């Protein structure tokens, strides 16, 4: 799906708090990427009700830009891609396999959306992703270069290629952190997701979005999952557990007591107003 002239780029930039003249250059790409992550929370309130959220651009603007809500990967990256295209970038939608903790790449389906962004005048494309709901997520895009390490907004990442039986090169995004093992991990470098450069279309993500948003076996239909990021901390509410990870490495956890406390927390800390009729805890 390609952005049309109806997209309100100025309204989107106000929502994420990014000031400046958007241009198709690396500085704009990095700045808008980071501002989006800090400006719009990740959340699964629709899927928690077994409802697949709409991926139509007008609905995404109403929910994530105009409304006091966030979304999950398909919503975030579809909106972000529209903003990039309105700014003059060329964007390819990619489908990735989340492999955190997996023994094999093939054991996970392609359920994550990421973006390949071409910047005029740059020698190669960038991997961009504002919708990966994990502490190992990119905060800034990284060039599609195998083996090189990149630091963006305090997080370290690299891309590697791994052997697999398919005809296309398989890329793996790794984040630097505690050693947890899993596929394509190397010491403290933990694999996040794997992807090829095959383009995926809006119709493809409509299908996988319906699966993730409605399947009772989907992790997003089973328990609450909300996160936000700012310059000082990463805040995650998973079920009843609230985890705050500071940039200095300090971690604090506590359990929420009831729905009322959760609703207040979502509004005050995440900027999310819970829709009427939603049950946060099963």
Instruction: Give catalytic status of residue 3 as yes or no.
Output: no
Active-site annotation holds for 103: no
- pLDDT of 64-73, one tens digit each? 999 999 999 9
Give yes or no: 59 in active site: no
* C-alpha pair distances (Å), 93 with each of 21, 155, 165, 273: 25, 23, 22, 30
- 101-141 residue pLDDT tens: 888 888 999 999 999 999 999 999 999 999 999 999 999 99
- The side-by-side arrangement of strands in the sheet containing 155-162 is 142-143, 126-128, 110-118, 90-98, 189-195, 170-176, 155-162, 149-152
Residue 181 has pLDDT above 80, yes or no: no
Catalytic residue (one of 3, 36, 46, 129): 129
DSSP assignment letter at 221: G
- pLDDT tens for residues 204-238? 999 999 999 999 999 999 999 999 999 999 999 99
What is the model's pTM? 0.95
Q: Measured between alpha carbons, how far is 124 from 132 in angstroms, rounded to an integer?
A: 22
Question: Residue 61: which residues within 8 A CB-CB, separation 6 or more?
Answer: 7, 8, 11, 12, 79
How large is the average pLDDT for residues 167-178? 92
Q: How far apart, in whole angstroms, are the C-alpha atoms of residue 71 and residue 148?
A: 31
Q: In residues, how long is the chain?
A: 282
Q: Which two tokens stand for residue 77?
A: 């990256």
Please give the pLDDT value at position 2: 39
Is 1 a residue whose pLDDT tops 70?
no
Which helix (H) or strand (E) element contains residue 242? Answer: strand 241-246
Residues 73, 76, 157, 234: which is the catalytic one?
73
Contact of 208 with 220, CB cutoff 8 Å: no
Of residues 33, 76, 112, 234, which has the active-site annotation? 112
């Amino acid at each position: 799906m390609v952005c049309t002239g109806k997209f309100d780029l100025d309204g989107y930039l106000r929502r994420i708090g990014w000031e400046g003249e958007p241009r198709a250059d690396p500085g704009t790409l990095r700045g808008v990427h980071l501002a989006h992550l800090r400006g719009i929370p990740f959340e699964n309130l629709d899927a928690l009700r077994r409802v697949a959220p709409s991926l139509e651009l007008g609905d995404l603007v109403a929910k994530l830009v105009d409304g006091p809500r966030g979304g999950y990967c398909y919503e975030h990256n579809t909106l972000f891609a529209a903003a990039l295209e309105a700014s003059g970038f060329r964007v390819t939608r990619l489908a990735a396999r989340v492999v955190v903790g997996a023994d094999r790449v093939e054991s996970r389906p392609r359920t994550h959306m990421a973006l390949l962004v071409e910047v005029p005048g740059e020698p190669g494309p960038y991997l961009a992703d504002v919708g990966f709901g994990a502490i190992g997520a990119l905060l800034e895009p990284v060039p599609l270069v195998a083996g090189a390490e990149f630091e963006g907004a305090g997080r370290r990442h690299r891309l590697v290629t791994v052997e697999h039986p398919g005809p296309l090169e398989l890329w793996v995004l790794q984040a630097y952190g505690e050693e947890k093992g899993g596929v394509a991990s190397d010491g403290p470098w933990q694999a996040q997701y794997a992807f090829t450069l095959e383009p995926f279309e809006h119709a493809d993500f409509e299908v996988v979005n319906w699966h993730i948003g409605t399947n009772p076996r989907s992790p997003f239909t089973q328990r609450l999952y909300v996160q936000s990021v700012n310059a000082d901390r990463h805040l995650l509410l998973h079920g009843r557990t609230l985890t705050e990870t500071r940039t200095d490495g300090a971690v604090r956890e506590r359990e929420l007591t009831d729905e009322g406390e959760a609703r207040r927390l979502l509004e005050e800390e995440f900027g999310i107003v819970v829709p009427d009729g939603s049950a946060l805890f099963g």
